[in-house]
Amino acid sequence: MLKDTFGRKIDYIRVSVTKQCNFRCQYCMPNTPFDAFDKDEYIPLDNVLEFLKVAIDNGIKKIRITGGEPLLRKDLPDFIAALRNYSKEVQLVLTTNGFLLQKSAKILKESGLDRINISLDSLKPERIVQISKKDGLENVLAGIQEALKYNFGLKINTVVMKGINSDEILDLFDYAKHRNITIRFIEFMENIHANHNLLGLKEKEILEIIKTKYDFETAKDQIIGPAKLYSCKDGYQFGIIAPHNDDFCQTCNRIRLTADGIICPCLYYQDSVDAKEALLSKNPQKLQSVLEQAVYNKPEKNQWDTTMEADKISARAFYHTGG
């Protein structure tokens, strides 16, 4: 079992398999060229697999595969299948923008993937183009339908931005609710790679909008994770991810591995562990050592602050850490 110095059990790892993405979202990397990344710098997935075997042996119970856009990796199904072959119990989850999901859902299911989180920031085609620089809504919605067909556990992630999609909160809520998909509204997370003109809505503001149509209360049984859950009277649950809140980090059980071999103990904290040499070696003792060091380095709290000055905004790219 892995425990950090604050007594939190670490049983969840997010693994970025690529920095490449076919979207250029306003809150992530809107001005990054599409050919900006060198694939040769990525750790081979066979090496990542050996690290994750060590992590599973140390009590990791959930692995989320992220990017960039992970479905750009042609070898991803084989990687998932190898993880599933190693452990029947570990939860295998994917986060995707959904653009390639319709073509991938069947093989992902056959490979052993359990659940999928899909980014959906608008139900209007022109707004998806505005947000992501990609005419992708039709593909994303088709991907969601295909994933439902194969009975994946699904969640929708929506980053709420003032003046861009904040007027669609109820429409997106209804879209998810009518399909029995959990939706999670995410506060915009400031970083230097995002559009610097963006402003987000905070948890309280989002809840006030939902309250105009639905009665709900804080869910009695909260699942350990980034989202605070709320329950409607009919039992439907939704979540808010609010990293600016003081209690956001209290139950954090996560570390992150980047595609080029950096272990980030916290999304919004610059300290990290360079695990590239250990990963390339496949040496179990070295892999154990960098895993333990990352858990030891995990801070008590992230450094998000609603009053932060411009020069203190995170330089870490979410497409690098996997969000």
Is 206 assigned to a binding site?
Answer: no
Is 27 assigned to a binding site?
Answer: yes
CA distance linking residue 232 with residue 310, whole number of Å: 38
CA distance linking residue 176 with residue 168, whole number of Å: 12
What's the chain's Rg over C-alpha atoms? Answer: 19
Is 269 assigned to a binding site?
Answer: no
CA distance linking residue 55 with residue 2, whole number of Å: 9
Contacts of 151 (CB under 8 A, 6+ apart): 109
Is 179 assigned to a binding site?
Answer: no
CA distance linking residue 151 with residue 195, whole number of Å: 36
CA angle, 258 then 261 then 263, to 5°: 65
Is 64 assigned to a binding site?
Answer: yes
Q: What is the largest CA-CA distance in the chain?
A: 56
Is 21 assigned to a binding site?
Answer: yes
CA distance linking residue 191 with residue 193, whole number of Å: 6
Is 155 assigned to a binding site?
Answer: yes
Is 256 assigned to a binding site?
Answer: yes
Is 289 assigned to a binding site?
Answer: no
Is 189 assigned to a binding site?
Answer: yes
CA distance linking residue 49 with residue 34, whole number of Å: 27
One-letter identity of residue 143? G
Is 29 assigned to a binding site?
Answer: no
Is 228 assigned to a binding site?
Answer: no
Is 249 assigned to a binding site?
Answer: yes
Instruction: Provide φ and ψ at 108, rounded to 5°.
Output: -65, -40
Is 68 assigned to a binding site?
Answer: yes
User: Residue 59 — left, alpha, or beta (φ > 0 → left; ψ -120 to 50 → alpha)?
Assistant: left
Is 211 assigned to a binding site?
Answer: no
Structure-token match 């809140």, residue found: 245
Residue list, annotated binding site for [4Fe-4S] cluster: 21, 25, 28, 249, 252, 266
Residue list, annotated binding site for GTP: 14, 64, 95, 155, 254-256
Residue list, annotated binding site: 14, 21, 25, 27-28, 64, 68, 95, 119, 155, 189, 249, 252, 254-256, 266
Residue list, annotated binding site for S-adenosyl-L-methionine: 27, 68, 119, 189
